[in-house]
Amino acid sequence: MQRGESFSLAIKPFIPGDEYALLDIADESSREDSVVRGFELAEMAAKAKRVLSSTTSVQMAYPALLLVYMYAYCMLFGGVIFPQVLDVRPLDQWPDLGRFLYHVDTFCYEYWWLTLTSIIGLVLAYFSSLKRWSGPLRDRFDRMPLLWRNRRDLRAALLIVSLAGLFDSNLTLRAALDRLLKTADPWLRWHLKIMDRRLTARSDEPMRALDTGIFSVTIVDTITDAAGRDQFEAAIKSLGRESLDRVVEAVKRNARVTHFMLLGFAAALFLTLGIGSYVVTGAVNLTSGNPAATSY
């Protein structure tokens, strides 16, 4: 700050990028309380991100635990039980389901390192995709009740807050979009460029320009209704004061939906592979007349 830097630029190395963007926009605002407002928005953004992080962890915990238990079960059958059953009855005499489960469980036992590497790769790919993956396919994933949707809702709320701050500085929508493009990551930049192209084609339809899939249906309806009454900027400013609180509640609701979907998927896999392996073992032993694995 001794070199004449703004406060937001001075603390940029020590805060996340989206919080810096909010403080930077607040610095440019003409409001007297712009700095205080910037800190309030940054604090709200940090709180919303903490909620997103905690809800994502909770929604993944139980399904992940069930999948780990299922994989251990598959390794037990693939490495210990099924080899004993083979001594009693050759694989070509097993039922079709039994042969399928044998190959799956054996793969789990012999290639556990490949499975572990794949899981780590998928986790890293997910976190890398949050800011870098963009395009029509990503937009479809953002609309589904998956992990990406919660992130989209949070980023959409931050965008509304940023637009509200820029409108307070008397910037037009086009100028606000140009300003946001300077600090946007690839995912947000894709949406902003579409908005800019649509605004160039039809400058009298600002809501059509913003409807790229980044905003939820509720927010789109609210802004569309206000735009029809020539209150577009007023609607953005109003949502900017409320959107982060709204998105926190929306993230919690969406997290419950995603949690039950993942839990249902994990339970189905466990019943098919885990319980299925046990049933097949019993069936093969019964037909052979020699229960080789009754101790398991």
Mean pLDDT value across residues 219-224: 73
Q: Helices 186-201 and 173-181: crossing angle, nearest 10°?
A: 150
* Dist. CA 225–CA 221, nearest whole Å: 6
- In the chain, the percentage of residues whose pLDDT exceeds 90 is 17
Sequence ranges of the domains in the chain? 40-288
pLDDT (tens digit per residue) in 110-151: 999 999 999 999 989 988 998 899 999 999 998 887 778 878
Mean pLDDT value across residues 208-222: 80
* Dist. CA 248–CA 126, nearest whole Å: 21
Within 8 A by CB and 6+ apart from 42, the residues are 15, 19, 22, 23
Q: Using 50, 70 and 90 to split pLDDT, how confident is the model at 294?
A: very low
Q: Regarding predicted confidence, which is higher, 69 or 221?
A: 69
Q: Using 50, 70 and 90 to split pLDDT, how confident is the model at 292?
A: very low
Mean pLDDT value across residues 264-283: 84
Residue 3 has pLDDT above 60, yes or no: no
Instruction: Tell me how far CA of residue 80 lies from CA of 83, 86, 232, in angstroms.
Output: 6, 11, 67
pLDDT (tens digit per residue) in 70-103: 899 899 999 998 898 888 888 888 888 888 999 9
* Dist. CA 193–CA 186, nearest whole Å: 10
Within 8 A by CB and 6+ apart from 227, the residues are 205, 206, 207, 235
Within 8 A by CB and 6+ apart from 180, the residues are 21, 159, 162, 163, 166, 188, 192
Query: What integer pLDDT is reported at residue 229 of this predicted model?
Result: 55
Within 8 A by CB and 6+ apart from 91, the residues are 99, 102
Place of tokens 């928005």: 41
For residue 31, the one-letter residue type is R
Mean pLDDT value across residues 286-290: 60
* Dist. CA 161–CA 238, nearest whole Å: 9
